[in-house]
Chain A
Amino acid sequence: MNLFRLTGHALSATTRLMERRKQDGRMPGRRASGAAAALMGCAMAVTATLSGCISVSAPDKPIVIELNINIKQEVIYRLAADAGNTIENNPGIF
């Protein structure tokens, strides 16, 4: 599965780069940057040897940190008895 995906990526990347090279005659390395360059490296390795190639990619979903105060019902149920006693024992402020 993993190999299939990598190969899939590699094929499209190579094709695009080859097309671009045909169009403007420039070296692909100048325009490809970052991930594209890494992908190209991977592609070459995979097509050449079909051996292991580790590809690290960012997750497609954004990382969300929940900052809202999330009070869960189970906590409320746990605290209910104690809170009831507290209210009963402090009649002046409740």
Chain B
Amino acid sequence: MRRLSDIMGVKRAVLAAGLAALGVGAIAAPALAQRDPAYAAARSAGQVGEKMDGYLGIVGAATPELRKMIDDINIKRKAVYAQKAQAQRATVEEYAFTSGCLLISQTSPGEKYQAPDGSWQTRGSGPPQRDSRCP
């Protein structure tokens, strides 16, 4: 696709390709398609995990790069949580916790998540350990 647009040098082709990719991505695999590569790598490497409170945490040793990346995503998450919580007349903590339940459910095997006792667990093939209040 890219090579074609380079050869043609037509902006319209690039635009069309972008739109097509967006359209296909939204249907097929939106999460994997749009995650930052560094974030995706840290997730699958088990360096970061989903916490119960709806935010990301660093599992092993924290590096400045990892910390910056996690903080950046968590700030963006909090902004989204706050906006949606207000619309739903809930608190940010309630909305974030609910999201945390779902995000832990959506982890792939090998990824890290926080169990109700606070420990980091590796997602296996079975269901993850979640808070009893999770839907």
Partner-B contacts on A (CB < 8 A): 69, 71-73, 75-80, 82-84, 86-88, 90-94
Contact = CB atoms under 8 A, between A and B. Distances in A.
Contacts, number: 66
Majority SS of interface residues in chain A?
helix
A87 B80 CA distance: 9
Quick one: which of A72, A83, A86, A90 has the most chain B CB within 10 A? A83
B113 interface: no
Contact of A92 (B34, B87, B101, B103): B34
Interface of B: 30-36, 73, 76-77, 80-81, 84, 87-88, 90-91, 93-95, 97-99, 101-103, 106, 133-135
A76 B34 contact: no
A82 to B, nearest CB: 6
Given A69-B93, A71-B93, A80-B101, A93 B77 contact: yes
B116 to A, nearest CB: 13
Nearest to A84: B102
Majority SS of interface residues in chain B?
helix
A75 B73 CA distance: 25
29 contacts: A69-B93, A71-B94, A71-B97, A72-B133, A75-B90, A75-B94, A75-B98, A76-B94, A76-B98, A76-B133, A77-B135, A78-B88, A78-B90, A79-B95, A80-B135, A82-B84, A82-B88, A86-B84, A87-B103, A87-B106, A88-B30, A91-B30, A91-B33, A91-B34, A91-B35, A92-B36, A93-B76, A93-B80, A94-B103
